[in-house]
Amino acid sequence: MSGHSKWANIKRKKEANDKVKGSIFSKLSRMITLAVIEGGGIGDPDKNFKLRLAVDKARLANMPKDNIKRAIDRALGSNKDILKEIIYEAFAPGKVLLIIQATSDNSNRTLSEIRYVLERYGGKLGTQGSVMYLFRKCGTITFAKTEASEEVVFEFSNRIKALDIDQDNDNYFVAFPFENLGKIKEYLGNLQYKEAEIDYKPLTTIKVDNEEEARKIIKLIDSLEALDDVQKVFSNFDISEEILNRIGAQINSV
C-alpha cells in the first residue's frame, strides 16, 4: 500500500476517537453539496453516482441523516452556483509531490490559506501541470475482510480491470480505472463494499528514511487537511509503516 494510503488509515483510526468530528462533517457536507451541483441539481443518490459516493462516505463517518439532507438541500438553494472543486499542485520537503483537493466558495481565500501553510512547513505551491502528470486519477473501493473473501474480491478486481490490489489487517483496497467508477454497481453484483472514492495514485514514489523529515511532511499534510476548504491531500511519499506508526502514536498521545 502506498505511503499516503497507510497514513490515511492511521489518521482514520485517530479521527474515530478524537474531537474532530465537527470538522469532518463540515467537509463531508461540502462534498455532498458539490456532488449535487456537479450532477446538474440531481439530489437522488440513486440517480447521481458522485452523490452516492459522498453519501456513503458520510454514513461511514456516522454523519446524521439530517446533516446529509441539509447538505443536499443547500445544493438546491440560492447559493448552489458558488461552491466548486479546485485542485492545487504543490511540493513538500524532500521534493515530495502533493495534489491538494479543495472545495471552495472563495478561491482567493483558499489559495491564500494553502500557500501560507505550505510556506510555514517548508513546502511550495507548484504551477498547473507541474505535479499532476506524475499521478493517475482513478477510483478506489474498499472491502471489509469480514464482508468479502479474498477470492470474491479478486473476481471483482478482474471484472473492473483493477490497476492495483492492496490490503491491511481489516480491509482490501482495489484501485481501478477512473472511467469505470460509474460501473461499480454493474460489477459488484451482491458484493457489499465499505467505501468507494476518487483517488490519485502516484506513478512513482519518493522514499523518506529520515524520521525528522517524515514528521515535517506529515505535519504539512495534516495542516493542509485541517483547513476547512481542503478535502484531501494526495502524495507520493514512501515512509515505512514503522515510522508512520511512531508518528501516529505520538499524535494520539497529545
Residue 198 exposed, middle or buried by CB count within 10 Å (0-12, 13-18, 19+): middle
Asked whether residue 89 carries a pLDDT value surpassing 70, the answer given is: yes
Q: How far apart are CA 149 and CA 159, in angstroms?
A: 16
In a domain, 26, yes or no: yes
CB-CB neighbours of 254 under 10 Å: 5
In a domain, 19, yes or no: yes
Q: How far apart are CA 63 and CA 5, in angstroms?
A: 22
CATH code, domain with 68: 1.10.10.200
In a domain, 197, yes or no: no
Q: Which of 177, 199, 202, 198 is nearest to 187 (CA)?
A: 177
Residues 119-124 have a mean pLDDT of 96
- Domain limits for position 14: 3-75
pLDDT of residue 244: 82
pLDDT of residue 17: 47
In a domain, 65, yes or no: yes
Contact 171, 142 (CB under 8 A): yes
In a domain, 116, yes or no: no
Tens digits of per-residue pLDDT, 43-58? 999 899 899 999 999 9
The number of angstroms, rounded, from the C-alpha of 229 to the middle of its chain's C-alpha atoms is: 13
Tens digits of per-residue pLDDT, 199-250? 999 999 999 999 999 999 999 999 999 999 999 999 999 988 888 888 777 6
Q: How far apart are CA 45 and CA 56, in angstroms?
A: 9
Specify the pTM: 0.87
pLDDT of residue 168: 82
CA atoms within 13 A on the CB side of 182: 6
Q: If you search the block for the grid coordinates 459522498, which residue do you land on?
A: 54
Instruction: Please state the domain count of the chain.
Output: 1
In a domain, 132, yes or no: no
**More confident: 59 or 16:** 59
Q: What are the helix (H) ranges across the chain?
A: 3-15, 21-38, 49-60, 65-75, 107-120, 150-159, 184-188, 211-225, 241-253
Average pLDDT, the chain: 88
